[in-house]
């Protein structure tokens, strides 16, 4: 669940950042994809850490 939340949040942040920089639609899509992947990866890592901490 955290990975999906990170993916969506990252994609939104990427889209907004490209919009601020004056990018066209393809720039926005590329930023959204890159930030979405990074956010999803952080969500997976956070989920693993939380699972490890809550099992102890």
pLDDT tens-digit profile of 1-56?
A: 999 999 999 999 999 999 999 999 999 999 999 999 999 999 999 999 999 999 97
**Nearest 5 degrees, angle CA 12-CA 13-CA 18?**
100
d(CA 41, CA 26): 23
Give the global pTM: 0.89
List of residues 6+ apart from 13 with CB closer than 8 A = 35, 39
* Token pair recorded at residue 26: 């393809």
d(CA 18, CA 34): 11
């Amino acid at each position: 669940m955290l990975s999906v939340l990170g993916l969506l949040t990252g994609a939104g942040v990427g889209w907004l950042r490209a919009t601020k920089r004056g990018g066209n639609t393809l720039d926005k899509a590329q930023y959204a994809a890159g930030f979405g992947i990074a956010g999803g990866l952080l969500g997976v890592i956070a989920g693993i850490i939380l699972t490890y901490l809550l099992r102890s």
